[in-house]
Structure 1
Amino acid sequence: MKNILVILFCSLSTGIFAQIGVYTESPSQLLHIDAAKNNNNSSPSTSQMSDDVVFTSDGKLGLGVIDPKAKLHINGSLRVNDGTQADGKLLMSSNDVGLATWGSVKINKIANWKLSGSVNVPASGMIQFTGTSAMVDNEIDGLSAGTNSLRIPRGKYIIIVNGDLAPASEYGIFTVKTSVDTPFSFYYSEWLGGATFLLDLTNAKYANPETITIYFTPVSTAVGATNYYYTKPPYTNTFWYTFSIIMI
């Protein structure tokens, strides 16, 4: 009889303590805490379970959810304050052990600037392109269209240039100038398509923002074995040049 009682007591104990509920009479997991005591049945609504905490028999922890699908399943916001958090940072793994820390991710922003108008091209000498200066689109803070110029903040940029003097078959030197130097100068003929250069404005010698202006120096010369001559200045033509700007 004693052995029968012991077996019966053990069976009852196993049934009673298989799931533990705190503030709930219907625990859904090994440990179920209904912090607000607002679950009135075994199938609480989303709002009712928002204050629940569960720990499952296979080691999952659920916060705001009673059927967690991962080792840690949170239905709600997550706040991590380790002293390195800041606006614009992302939570990422710092090394191969998966330690999460706040870090910065470089995102390439782009912009497109266009200068267009008409120009009197002399027989010789460098001329500045002046006309309508406008941003076609812009994701770069501090970058803007100036009068006949581009105002660009300190930083590093990849610039892709396209443009043309029309309808002339021009041949000459396309030049980009800052307030202190010439970061890019390039011979081209007929039209300027896809010329690319690095613009590094990180040096303190540059203004912030720096003013970028563009120029053209005509060259009259024979080109190739056929002695084909490009249109010789002087002439008056319309022009357009675009800068596709990638912040790196």
Structure 2
Amino acid sequence: MKKLYIILYILISFCSYAQIGIGTSNPQGILHVDGAKDNLVSGVPTSGQQINDFIITASGNVGIGNTAPQRKLDADAGAQSLRIQNLIRQVPADHDILIRSEASGDVTTAKYSYSINSASIAAGAAGTVTIPSTINIPAGMLIVRSGNACGRTMISTYMYSDMSLGYLSAVARDKVGVVTSSAGGAGTSSGWGVKFANVLGCADGGGATQFDYTIVKTGGSTYTITNNGNIARTYTLTVFRL
């Protein structure tokens, strides 16, 4: 009986520290599966031999087609696309996208779009809207939007990069915006004034000038909007990565 205990103890100790190889007698990690059973009996498998391998290392990294994974999941796609089926489809208010570093192969997330509302800006007053620095979209498209109580929406689009801001278009339902530009001050972009002539009045008090405004980029992620209309207005700013 004593001998049996000794044997069991040795086996348990062996299993606690052993590497398990499936299809290979030369495992490179805690669990190593050689799909094609083509690995070397000693040494590190070649890159061609690794492409059909799956491994879990002692640090918990998982490698697919790679026997020395450097991340929690490190896959060599073999110049093919990755396939994921039956993902849930959703449209959140803000979107992230996956981006891949060509140099390291690391896949990380980046913000694709972000929306923020200004405070209510009184007629003739100016307000500042700041995109959080954590959003990190230094160049892309900017959309400025505002609506009234009568179901009319004003939408203006711009391109921006660093301290440059370029006007593209503006509409308020059936009215096309008329734009004027002005030279920016020190450390700001050019300013853009947009007017929507003959917009119909609304029960909320908005007159023909209700959507008129001026915008200037005053910082890397800061915009100042001047409400040139006749009533207080809230603006929604949305930035998109291009």
Quickly name the TM-score band, shorter chain normalised: 0.3 to 0.5
Higher strand share: 1
The structure having more radius of gyration, on CA atoms, is 1
- Give TM-score scaled by structure 2 length: 0.39
